[in-house]
Amino acid sequence: MKKSLVIGMVATGILAFSGPLASADEYTKDLPAVTKALAGATLTLDQGIKAAEREGKPLSAQYEIDEGHFQLSVFTNKGSDLLEVIVDYKTGAIKTAEKLTDPDDIKDAKKQVQAMAKATVSLDQAVAEATKANPGYTAVQVIPHLYGDKVEAGIILVKGDDVKKVTQKLN
């Protein structure tokens, strides 16, 4: 009985820890292109998150290639609206702020709302701490995850071709 309980707890812990990294793995296929395009960005990810606050509470953020275009995308929550905010990666200006319509994006954003509701550390602070702890690396993605009452941010950092995945506590 105790042995099966311990095995179950270990399996749950492994699944919980791999959660943020599993979703990040889908993102990593575009990382070479993102890293190359990042050279033209003057805004750090934490600065982009801070800029997006004008359009609601930041839920997640990433530099990405979308339909062939490099952009800084931040999901936010404003009242009952879930938005994707595109921040100009050179100036910090808001380019667009549109309601999410894709069912998968909405599903992800709702999970992120739940996680950030329990967070005591903002996403921009978590990203700033992660980059400070990893000199020379640039953050390209941050996604919060809720594990019971614990909230962690999965953060992807890049330095040239080197990719580092770290977690940062948000409560």
Cα–Cα distance measured from residue 71 to residue 127, given in angstroms and rounded to the nearest whole number: 18
Contact criterion met (CB below 8 Å) for 85 and 93: no
Domains of the chain: 20-169 (3.10.450.40)
Taking only the tens place, the pLDDT of each residue in 66-104 is 999 999 999 999 999 999 999 999 999 999 999 999 999
DSSP 53: G
Contact criterion met (CB below 8 Å) for 55 and 78: yes
Taking only the tens place, the pLDDT of each residue in 94-136 is 999 999 999 999 999 999 999 999 999 999 999 999 999 999 9
pLDDT band at 29 (very low <50, low <70, confident <90, very high): confident
Per-residue pLDDT at 15 exceeds 90: no
Partnered with residue 96 across adjacent β-strands are 86
Enclosing H/E stretch for 42: none
If one counts every other C-beta atom within 10 angstroms of the C-beta of residue 144, the result is 27
What lies within 8 Å, CB to CB, of 76 at 6+ separation is 52, 53, 55, 56, 57, 58, 59, 82, 83, 84, 85, 97
